[in-house]
Amino acid sequence: MTLAQFSLGALALVPLLGAALTMVLPHPARRALGVVTSLLIAGLTVPVMISVISGELPELVLGGFEAPLGIHLRGDGLAAVFLGVTSLVGVTITGYAAVLPKSTGTYLSSTAWVPGHPGFWPLWLGCWSGLNAVYLSGDLFNLYVSLELVGLTAVALVALGGRSSWEPALRYLFIAVLGSLMFLAGVGLLVSVTGTLDLQQTRGELEGLEDPTLPLLALTLMTVGLAMKVALLPMHRWLVPAHSAAPSAVSPILSGLVIKAAMVVMLRCWLWAVPVLQGSEWLAWMLGALGAAGVLIGSVLALRQDRLKPLVAYSTVAQIGYWFLAFPLLLPGENDAAQLASGAYGGVVAMAVGHAIAKAGLFTAAGFLKDRCGTDEMSALRGAGAHHPVLILAMGMCAVGLLGLPISLGFSGKWQLATAAVAAEHWWVILVVAAGTLLSAAYMLRGIAPLLLQAEIAEDAPAASPVSVRERVGEIAVLVLGVATICTGLLGAGLSDLLEVGSWW
């Protein structure tokens, strides 16, 4: 067993082990173990990434059960990219939560609500284990199981926010379970046709198939289920209350990472499991149209918010739209252009990765301000920037990434999407991207500009209490994500090379 193979298994199991251990530890020790585990995971990511970058495809069969039945872990370009970004965001958020424990929620002690929920640590590590397993899974059933793990822990994480977060969490639970069930139904249909769960074998079986009706139905079921979990418009209603009611350390995880898990499964299904089916074009077009609607409607709704966290959450809805905008370009049609499809695919991944980093930073910053000022009403946050220049700078950097301005992966992604759209002569994509960019500039400005205001209100604002050292360190976490947003912008070309490793063409 090579180091990379060992790491594949460890990436899924170490966080699970960490989650189990933190459950029996006293509270301060949970934080320490959480930080150690997160660093360990980041360390384990390195050999997998190195091996994939050098062009290998590490593979591990757990328990010795071979393909149709067994548990296959596979590392390829897509997995490596998302493992990397999850480590980066995960370690940063773990550090933030460890330094500012009150950001992990509130719990009801015998007397009152106490800030800082110890349940955060096992849940977050469990969620991380699920995320890694989603990226690495080589078969449909494992995808389902890991996705379920991610979804359920995420729901519980939302509920840590105290009484006001229980209703959004319950709503999220219904959607997550319903989405999983539809996905599972789709998987069941596929297995009834192909007789295998393995992604590559499924593709092989389907390619020889005459009648595409059943696989098409299965793909539709899986797509709708996953779209619910990703929160594609019009299935986005659960996202905004859940992401904005969640505790400060949880919102960035949800918005940055959790919805990406469902997105990765979506890409795996469309690009790996199912070959281009007759009649699947309308589905792709449907997704493209919903994506365009998401970009525009999500941005307009973001523009109408008065509170910072819902604004950031609606911006996620808009960003999700961009990823689906690429679906009509994603399938190599009969006039071929695998190049074109690879451009669109690279664009989607670049935008999703850029979004993971930038949105995690922005949500952390919004949560930080909410914790500190007691509210995230934008009118009450006027002038808050005066005490937190580093935070504002970091938010600006994250905003660059979300707007898709250079230098950021958001820019690379939009570039690839736009060039693929021009090559395919789908001009409407360009229009949507341009309109979305302008709208997002408007809502970002609306969110950040009041913080810069130096009105007299700033003097008697409730935030006048001195900023503690811990809070300064917390600001550094946001700065790390902001700087990462900009620096990863230089990796666009490398990212697209990396995605070629183990891609389906």
Partner 1 sequence: MVVNDVIPLGLVLLSVVVAAIIFPLPQRLAGLRSAVNLAGALIKLVLVVLLVPPVVADGARPEFAVPFLPTGGGEAISLVLRVDPLALFFAGLSAVLWLLTTIYAIGYLKGTAYQSRFFGFFSLCVAATVGISFSGNLITFLVFYELLTLVTYPLVAHWGDEKSLQAARLYMRYALGGGVAVLVGVVWLTMEAGPADFAEGGAADVAEFAVRSPTVAVIIFALLVGGLGVKSALVPLHSWLPAAMVAPAPVSALLHAVAVVKAGVFGIVRVVDDVYGIEVAWELGVLTPLLVVASVTIIYGSYQALRQTEIKRRLAFSTVSQVSYVVLGVTMFSMAGTAGGVVHLVHQGIMKITLFFCAGLFAEAMGAHKISDLRGAGRRMPWTSAAFTVGAFGMIGLPPTAGFISKWQLGLGALESPHPWVLVVLVISSLLNAAYFLPVVYSLWFGEREDDAEAPETAHEQERVHEPGLLLAPALCTAGFTLIVGLAASLPFSPLEISRYIAEGVFS
Binding positions for partner 1, rule: CB under 8 A:
339-340, 342-343, 346, 383, 386, 389-390, 393, 396, 400, 405-407, 412, 415-416, 418-420, 422-423, 430, 434, 437-438, 441, 445, 449, 452-455, 490, 492-497
Q: Tell me if 230 sits within 8 A of 264, measured CB to CB.
A: no
Q: Tell me if 323 sits within 8 A of 351, measured CB to CB.
A: yes
Is 207 or 497 the residue whose CB approaches partner 1 more closely?
A: 497
3-state SS, one letter per residue, for 331-375: CCECCECHHHHHHHHHHHHHHHHHHHHHHHHHHHHHHHHHHHHCC
Cβ atoms within 10 Å of 151's Cβ, excluding its own: 23
> In whole angstroms, how close is the CB of 396 to partner 1 at the nearest point?
7
> In whole angstroms, how close is the CB of 265 to partner 1 at the nearest point?
24
- The rounded distance, in Å, linking the Cα atoms of 154 and 404 is 28
> In whole angstroms, how close is the CB of 293 to partner 1 at the nearest point?
21
Q: Tell me if 276 sits within 8 A of 202, measured CB to CB.
A: no
3-state SS, one letter per residue, for 453-466: CCCHHHCCCHHHCC
Is 155 or 495 the residue whose CB approaches partner 1 more closely?
A: 495
Q: Which of 11, 22, 20 is nearest to 51 (CA)?
A: 11
Is 321 or 404 the residue whose CB approaches partner 1 more closely?
A: 404
- The rounded distance, in Å, linking the Cα atoms of 96 and 105 is 13
> In whole angstroms, how close is the CB of 267 to partner 1 at the nearest point?
17
Q: How many residues does the chain have?
A: 505
> In whole angstroms, how close is the CB of 460 to partner 1 at the nearest point?
16
> In whole angstroms, how close is the CB of 203 to partner 1 at the nearest point?
23
Q: Which amino acid is at 106?
A: T
Is 195 or 396 the residue whose CB approaches partner 1 more closely?
A: 396
Is 285 or 427 the residue whose CB approaches partner 1 more closely?
A: 427
Is 262 or 329 the residue whose CB approaches partner 1 more closely?
A: 329
Is 226 or 349 the residue whose CB approaches partner 1 more closely?
A: 349
Q: Which amino acid is at 1?
A: M
> In whole angstroms, how close is the CB of 419 to partner 1 at the nearest point?
6
